[in-house]
Structure 1
Amino acid sequence: MKTPILSIITVNFNNNEGLKKTLRSIETQSYTSYEHIIIDADSNDGSKETIEKYSERNTRLTYWVSEKDNGIYDGMNKGIRQAKGEYLYFLNSGDCLQGDILKKISFDGTKYIYGDMVLINNQEQRKETGPDYPDLIFFFYNALAHQACFIHHSLFADKLYDTRYKIIADWGHSFQSIIMEGCSYRHIPSTIAECDGTGISSNYIDVQTERLKWLKENLSHQLYSTYIDILEYNKSEFKAIIPTMNHTKKFQKRARKLVCWLLKLNAIFSSHHTPAEDIYNSILYRPFSNK
């Protein structure tokens, strides 16, 4: 098998029925330049037998293992270490590709290619649309779901997922890649996958707690304080005028550059920062609203 463009990585633990759905959604793809890697965490519900049968009929399964691990991100990192594709895509057990979607993706070298997804919650469906311009405000209240992202392999060359975080390690990776390092990105207006919307990442308080912890650990004190200030500004009355102007791509690009410039300027010259504790708590317990 020649080097594939795409490595699909599936992590599973005792979710045999969900795994079967995931495998069926992959087998229906007409796209062929992919390899499949399955990392099972020593399941005892028949998952290993399902993988063995799958390996007999799908020659694109290039690697699989069933052994104990230290959580979902440890499993995803194991898959990354085995992957050979130019792009990596994480479709874990229970998540399913939508239709024949892979043939519609143009793998053009853009570092982060992402689309839309459908969340399934107690038989109810909710579409999550990816942003055209993921900025600082988007990343604090939202995430680029890994089920909708095709990530260039080079972005994992010197940083795997941080297993100290149990919920937001993929969010941290995308924040660092797009916001801090300025990698290229592109939103495609297509639904990539559907996934379970009732998992641990659906707990808003836990997610925000981990995000704030990650920001404190990965930003300087000055940048962290400025970021909190920007989020506090986002709650103010003044932000109501922004949607009126925010309908053009030119304005969105300029606004993003302005925010990044303000962050740098504040870090260099500011000797006073707004105390963050009250703001921290108000942000932590305030659900995001587009209104």
Structure 2
Amino acid sequence: MRYSVITINYNNKEGLKRTIMSVVAQTSNEYEFIIIDGGSTDGSVDVIKEHTDYITYWVSEKDNGVYHAMNKGVAQSHGKYLIFMNSGDSFHFSDALSAFNEYEEDIICGKVLKSGENIPCGHQKPTITLVDLMRGSLPHQAMFIKRELMVRHPYDEKYKILSDWKLCIQALVFNNCTFRNSDIIVADYDTSGISTNSNGLLPKEREQILKEMFPPRIITDYQRLYPADDELLDLTLLLSQTVGARKWAKRFLNLILRFTQKK
């Protein structure tokens, strides 16, 4: 079994339908499908039961949050690679799994297309460095991770939105895992989830993770590299609310960051 597709859901019946249909439409036969539901009461379980012929394992019970549910999915998986396609997210095309059959790196990452946009998002370079990860996480909807890696380093459940970022730093920086970047659009990303609507939690968790993983000297260097990172991020997000403005907001942010690096 090459792939384990893991879907986390809680009271998102319509989003779950979209996700299931995109998985069922995959042309690859080398995958299993796991659904971890958090005890939904909106009819999600009925949707799951309607598609049990396509689901390898499912459970509906209360959990302790998104990352706890994702770890539960890992525990039930058997594939060589794991991909988390949570409810509302969907594969971009029917050959999305087959397109990565020839790759063997520890982490393989493609691109995502956010809802309402037509410009793919994701890592842009063939290699990846600590500075790249400081600038942002890899999209888990487009990231294939070797199961053995996730068994060794499960998601840290004390974080609500950035445990996947912490995992990437651990694997790619500290463990020097192999990495392959791809321009293939793997998933359509539903931006209505907790990671998008974090209500200010993102900078707080980022600071906690940095303090947990790095000595003060490294953190100081990071702060020098991005002396006003949070303010710039807020401004970029504000600009990006205008339809079609996200790409310009991103360019603006990059220009400001280059300027601060030269000072």
Task: State the TM bucket, normalised to the shorter chain.
Answer: 0.7 to 0.9
User: Residue 17 of structure 1: SS of its match in structure 2?
Assistant: helix
Q: Which amino acid aligns with 2:111?
A: D
| 1:130 alignment counterpart | 123
Percent same amino acid at aligned positions?
A: 35
Distance 2:222 2:189 in 1: 32
In the TM superposition, 1:1-291 aligns within 5 A as: 4-55=1-52, 57-58=53-54, 61-100=55-94, 101-120=96-115, 123-132=116-125, 133-202=127-196, 203=198, 205-221=200-216, 225-232=217-224, 234=225, 279=227, 282-287=228-233, 289-291=253-255
Q: Once the two structures are superposed, what CA deviation does each residue of 1:114-170 show, in whole Å capped at 9, x if it has no partner? A: 0011111xx444420323222222212211010010001111222210010000011
| 1:247 alignment counterpart | none
Contact 1:205 1:284 in 2 (8 A): no
Contact 1:205 1:285 in 2 (8 A): no
Contact 1:96 1:194 in 2 (8 A): yes
Contact 2:210 2:219 in 1 (8 A): no
Distance 2:178 2:61 in 1: 36
| 1:248 alignment counterpart | none
- TM-score, length-scaled by structure 1: 0.76
Moved more, 62-71 or 104-113: 104-113
Contact 1:9 1:38 in 2 (8 A): yes
Contact 2:122 2:139 in 1 (8 A): no
Query: Given the superposition, is the C-alpha separation of residues 112 and 220 from structure 1 closer, same or farther in structure 2, using an over 3 Å criterion?
Result: same
Q: Which amino acid aligns with 2:104?
A: G
Query: Given the superposition, is the C-alpha separation of residues 66 and 96 from structure 1 closer, same or farther in structure 2, using an over 3 Å criterion?
Result: same
**Superposition deviation, residue 229 in structure 1:** 1.5
Q: Compare CA radii of gyration and give the structure with the larger one.
A: 1
- TM-score, length-scaled by structure 2: 0.83
Q: Which amino acid aligns with 1:166?
A: K
Q: Structure 1: state its 5+ residue gaps.
A: 236-278
Distance 1:93 1:107 in 2: 27
Distance 2:230 2:173 in 1: 21
User: Residue 87 of structure 2: SS of its match in structure 1?
Assistant: coil
Contact 1:7 1:35 in 2 (8 A): yes
**Superposition deviation, residue 179 in structure 1:** 1.2
Q: Once the two structures are superposed, what CA deviation does each residue of 1:193-246 show, in whole Å capped at 9, x if it has no partner? A: 01122333234842122111111012233xxx22431452x35xxxxxxxxxxx
**Superposition deviation, residue 70 in structure 1:** 0.7
**Superposition deviation, residue 108 in structure 1:** 3.2
Contact 1:43 1:66 in 2 (8 A): yes
- CA-based RMSD of the aligned residues comes to 1.7
Contact 1:137 1:231 in 2 (8 A): no
User: Residue 25 of structure 1: SS of its match in structure 2?
Assistant: helix
Structure 1 consecutive aligned stretches of length 4 or more whose deviation exceeds 4 Å: none
**Superposition deviation, residue 53 in structure 1:** 1.1
Contact 2:74 2:151 in 1 (8 A): no
Distance 1:204 1:231 in 2: 22
Q: Structure 2: state its 5+ residue gaps.
A: 237-252, 256-263
User: Residue 157 of structure 1: SS of its match in structure 2?
Assistant: helix
